[in-house]
Amino acid sequence: MSNQTTVTEFLFQEFSNVQELQLLHFAIFLAAYLAALIGNLLVIVVVALDHHLHTPMYFFLLNLSILDLGTISVTVPKSMGNSLWNTGLISYAGCVAQVFLFFFFATANFAFLTIMAYDRYIAICKPLHYETIMNRRACVQMAVSAWVSAIPYSALHTGNTFRLPFCRSNIVNKFFCDVPQLLQLSCSDSYLSEAGILAFSVCLYLSCFVFILVSYVQIFTAVLRIPSEQGQHKAFSTCVPHLIVVSLFLLTGISAYLKPTSSTPSILDLIESVLYAILPPMVNPVIYSMRNKEIKAGLGKVIVCKIFTGKQVSSFFS
C-alpha cells in the first residue's frame, strides 16, 4: 500500500480527557492493584510458611496467586503511569510484551484451575488413593506442565498478531494491548488465520471446561453419598470457591473475546476490559479465603508465630 507507514508505538484509549478524572482513574486502579497485591501475597506467604498447608490443593493455590499477580501487573501499572503522566503511549515492543505475558498468565491460570478440579476429584472420589496419585513428584510435574504449556500458546497468539502490518491507525480501543483491538488496526486480511487460532482456542478451553464439568458432576455425586452432614459441608466448602473462580474466569473471558469487536471506542468496552483484566486477580484471594478456615488459621499463625518469633520456614509437603 502506498500510504502504509510503520507503527512504532500505540496509543491507548483514555478513560477521560479531564485531568481530575484521570487522577480518579489512577486512584481506583491503584486501590484495585494494591488489593490484588496484598490479597495474593498474603495467600502466597501463608501457604509457604504454614506447614499444615503444604498439601497439593494449597500448592496449586499458591501458583494461582502468583499467576494472578502476574496478570494484573502486566496491565495495571502501565495504565496508572499513563494516567499520572497524562499520556497513553506504549512502545511497539511494550505492546508485544503485554500481549504475550497477558496470554501466558491467563492460559497458565486456566490450566491450574483445571488441575485443581482434578485434585478435588481425586480427594473426594478416590480418597484412599489420594496420597499415591497426588504425590509430590506428580504435583510438581503438573505445575511445570501448566507453566510451560502456556508459552507456545501465548507465542502463537502474539506471533499471529504482530506479523501483520498496522496501517489504519495506532489507537488501541482499550487500556492495554489486546488481540481483538490490535487486529482492527491491521491493513491485512487476517480473518482466516485468526479464525483458525480462534477455533483452536475454543477447542482448548472447551476441553478444559468439559473436564472440569465432568469432574464436578462426579464430585457432587460422591458428596451426596456422604452420610455425615459435616462431611458434606467440608467437601462443598473446598469445591464452591473453585467453581466460583472458574465461572468468573470464563464469563469475563467469553464476554471479552467471543463478542463482536466494535470499531468505535465505547466506555462500556473499557469497563468490560477492566472486569476481565482486573476483577478476577483482585477477588480470587477473597473467594478462596472467605470460607476457608485453614487459610484464616494459617494467616493468624504466620503473623503470631512465624514473623514475630522468627521460626524457620519448612518446605512443601513436609
Give 23-61 pLDDT, tens digit per residue.
888 898 999 999 999 999 988 988 888 888 888 989 999
C-alpha to C-alpha distances, 18 to 15, 82, 298, nearest whole angstrom: 9, 13, 45
Q: What is the pLDDT of residue 235?
A: 72
Give 205-234 pLDDT, tens digit per residue.
888 889 999 998 898 888 888 777 776 777
C-alpha to C-alpha distances, 26 to 15, 35, 39, 79, nearest whole angstrom: 10, 14, 20, 8
Give 90-143 pLDDT, tens digit per residue.
899 999 999 999 999 999 999 999 999 999 999 888 989 999 999 999 999 999
Question: 232 with 226: CB under 8 angstroms?
Answer: yes
Distance, CA of 154 to CA of 71 (rounded, Å): 13
Distance, CA of 8 to CA of 196 (rounded, Å): 28
Q: What value, to the nearest 5°, has the Cα angle with vertex 251 and ends 158 and 80?
A: 60
C-alpha to C-alpha distances, 120 to 105, 135, 173, 211, nearest whole angstrom: 22, 14, 40, 12
Query: Model's pTM, two decimal places?
Result: 0.85
Residue with cell 511494550: 94
Q: What is the pLDDT of residue 173?
A: 80
Which bin fits 312, alpha (ψ -120 to 50), beta or left (φ > 0)? beta
Q: Which fold has domain 9-307?
A: Rhopdopsin 7-helix transmembrane proteins (1.20.1070)
The SS3 of residue 124 is: helix
Average pLDDT over all residues of the chain: 82
Residue with cell 524457620: 312
Question: 56 with 119: CB under 8 angstroms?
Answer: yes
Who's near 12: CB < 8 A, 6+ residues apart? 79, 82, 88, 89, 90, 171, 172, 174, 175, 176
Q: What is the pLDDT of residue 313?
A: 46
Domain boundaries, the chain: 9-307
Distance, CA of 282 to CA of 278 (rounded, Å): 6
